[in-house]
Amino acid sequence: MHLNSRLALPLSALALIAGTPLSSAFAACTPTGFVRDSINLTAALINPGTVHGDVDATGCNIGIYYGPGSHGKVELANVHGANYFGIVNNGGKVDIRASAISDIGEKPFNGTQHGVAIYFAFNTAAKGDITDNYIWSYQKGGIVVNGPLASSNIQRNTVIGLGPVNFIAQNGIQAGFGADADVQQNTVSGNSYTGAGLTASGGILVVGGDCYGGNPQTNSKVQGNIALNNDVGAYLSNLDASCNAVTTPTKNTVQLNVLLNNAFNNTTGNGPTQGYQAGISDQGSQDTIQNNEICGLGYKPPGTATTAAFAIDVSATNSPKVKNNSFCGDPINSPSMSAHAARQAAMDASTRSITPYK
């Protein structure tokens, strides 16, 4: 696996950032009928079909909005400036490819729970592939695909968070609430929360269950990704109404990923006075974690009184299948790593939390 090639900008993003002439789209901010926070959100473009080139959504809530039953493609586009969403698929069939999405959120960024670059709306039949995009400078999340009718292949995207911040717990890529979604060959970095609020950030988040107000996320594959300097590289959290790991099989798979973090920044993810970081954290049932490489001081057990650090944390899950993983080249089932894991397993797992986007 070659880090340098995976961190490179897509050619389309390079062209856009360099100012290569592309077709531009400018529009007034028009109400969409899509309501969030009791606001009828406006968009620069509504059901535009195929979009290329620059979409300056400054002053609008959404850059590009696709409504129920619509069809479209966003390709070689540069979407920026909206405060709620870069691109919304609210029940359409929309492919998003080889585009740049940035500067999505308030100015300046703050802790309000919006500002998502690409959003497949919760409980809609939003479908389409999200591939080869370059996403950065978002407030809450990079890519979110939610709900049991939604489907997407989320592949080869580069998603860059703000780095350690104390005002919002960002998540890089989220597949949630029963979506038919796999997350493969992406590079996700810099989702790290340093503030209060009993939460941590996730690089790749697989989430659902009654505790979060939706279906469990099942049968998702998180494979071949690179996750750098996120509080939790891959965070699987499927919780029942009592906010314990679900007992019905989730059968999600995390394999062949590289998860690195060289610092411990989180402060309250494991309670009011203890941060929480892990290469992989699993709360679910019968999930598989195999052939992953984890490294860095940020994920090195056993932690301290103020830092709960894990390479792989399965202390709050049911019947996981964990095999052939390594920490900085050493097998995680080695005697020293097993001792560290045993110490961490004695901690109260019920205090750990994540803040997904719905």
Q: How many CB atoms lie within 10 A of CB 67?
A: 18
Q: Is the peptide bond before 148 cis (omega within 30 degrees of 0)?
A: no
In a domain, 355, yes or no: no
Distance (Å, whole) CA 104 – CA 114 = 9
Residue 6: what residue type? Answer: R
pLDDT average per 10 residues of sequence, the chain (358 residues):
44 44 60 98 98 98 98 98 98 98 98 98 97 98 98 98 98 98 98 96 98 97 98 97 96 98 96 94 97 97 90 94 96 61 53 86
Per-residue pLDDT reduced to its tens digit, 179-189: 999 999 999 99
Residue 18: exposed, middle, or buried by beta-carbon count in 10 A (0-12, 13-18, 19+)? exposed
In a domain, 292, yes or no: yes
In a domain, 196, yes or no: yes
Report how far apart, in Å, the C-alpha atoms of 284 and of each of 79, 83, 126 are: 36, 33, 25
* pLDDT, position 351: 61
* pLDDT, position 25: 47
In a domain, 69, yes or no: yes
* pLDDT, position 347: 52
In a domain, 171, yes or no: yes
* pLDDT, position 12: 45
In a domain, 356, yes or no: no
* pLDDT, position 143: 99
Count of domains observed in the chain: 1
In a domain, 159, yes or no: yes
Q: Judging by DSSP bridges, how do beta strands 151-155 and 39-46 pair with one another?
A: unpaired
* Euclidean distance between the first and the last CA atom of the chain, given in angstroms as a whole number: 33
Distance (Å, whole) CA 173 – CA 314 = 21
**Phi and psi at residue 172, to the nearest 5°:** -75, -65
* pLDDT, position 248: 96
Distance (Å, whole) CA 90 – CA 61 = 14
**Phi and psi at residue 246, to the nearest 5°:** -60, 150
The CATH number of whichever domain residue 240 belongs to comes to: 2.160.20
Which residue range forms the structural domain that includes residue 76?
3-349
Q: Where would I find the beta strands (DSSP E) of 194-317?
A: 202-208, 221-223, 226-228, 232-238, 253-255, 258-260, 275-283, 288-290, 293-295, 307-313
In a domain, 357, yes or no: no
